[in-house]
Structure 1
Amino acid sequence: MTTLTVRKQDGAFVLDSGAGRRASLRTGWSWRCGEIRTGAGLWTVAPTDRRRIGATAQTEHGVAVRLDLLRSHVPGPGGVARWMPGRWGGEVVRDEHRLAVRLPGRPGGTIHVDVTGVWAELELVTLTACFALMSRRRRRMLITMAVAGTGTHGATG
């Protein structure tokens, strides 16, 4: 098993996967979309649904990674991939290969990724999973802030 880290650096989330290879994820304030840059190219990443359970990474040529509860796809040979998100992390599993992402307790902390097996486009799959989990966390936070904001103003009259 290999452990990778994703850290916030200069406005982007940077994955240092060793051997001098680096990949990054940049998003907007609301996390409705973003872009992933790896040595292989540039992908647009976005949630698959309103609740932000999964995400897709794609170029103009099509979807490269799809993490979804019902139908996931990751590059490379092997069986069907499964995406299993949770509140503090998530897993992508295909055959005996596993990629487990653990979010930090606070936004902006270091993300830890445990990798078992061989993955094609490891950086792209990892950052797509990070985007899906952090986008979902951001959505929950914005909803909480909106609810708290409406509760403090109360009814007048």
Structure 2
Amino acid sequence: MTTLTVRKQDGAFVLDSGAGPRASLRTGWTWRCGEIRTGAGLWTVEPTDRRRIGFAAQAEHGAAVRLDPRRSHVPGPGGVAHWAFGRRGGELTRDGHRLAVRLSGRLGGPVRVEVTGEWAEVELVALTACFALMSRRRRQTLIMMAVIGSANGGPIG
């Protein structure tokens, strides 16, 4: 098993794999879309639905990674990939290989990625999974802020 860490650095989330070029994820304030940069190229990552259940990382030639509980796709040979997420983490499995992502308990804290087995484009897959989980967290925070704001009579000022 290999453990990777994603940390916020200079306005981006940087994947520290211990060797080779670093991969990074940049997002907007609402986390509606992002940009993943690895040694292999540049991908746009965004939700595939309004509720932010499915996510896809794609370049101009099509989707490279698709994470969805109903239908996932990751690069490389192998069978069907399965994506499941919970409150503070998610797990991608395929052919006995596992990629588990655990969010930190505090906002902005490091994200832990545990990789078991061989994965093609592991940096791209790991950062797409991180984006999926952090984007869902951001959406829930914004909804909670809107509900609290409307219950208190709206913004003051």
Q: Report the TM-score when normalising by structure 2.
A: 0.96
- Superposition map of 1:6-21 within 5 A: 6-21=6-21
Structure 2 distance, partners of 1:109, 1:58, is: 26
Structure 1 distance, partners of 2:8, 2:91, is: 21
The answer to whether 1:47 aligns with 2:16 is no
- Superposition map of 1:6-155 within 5 A: 6-153=6-153
Unaligned segments of structure 2, at least 5 residues: none
Q: Which one-letter code corresponds to 2:107 in the other structure? A: P
Structure 1 distance, partners of 2:138, 2:82, is: 23
For residue 75 of structure 2, give the secondary structure of its aligned residue in structure 1.
coil
Q: CA RMSD in A?
A: 0.9
Q: Which one-letter code corresponds to 1:73 in the other structure? A: H
Can you list the C-alpha shifts for 1:2-51, whole angstroms capped at 9, x where unaligned? 11000000000000112132100000000000100000000000012111
Structure 2 distance, partners of 1:107, 1:33, is: 18
Q: Which one-letter code corresponds to 2:152 in the other structure? A: T
Unaligned segments of structure 1, at least 5 residues: none
Q: Which one-letter code corresponds to 1:57 in the other structure? A: A
Q: Which one-letter code corresponds to 2:47 in the other structure? A: P
Q: Which one-letter code corresponds to 1:36 in the other structure? A: I
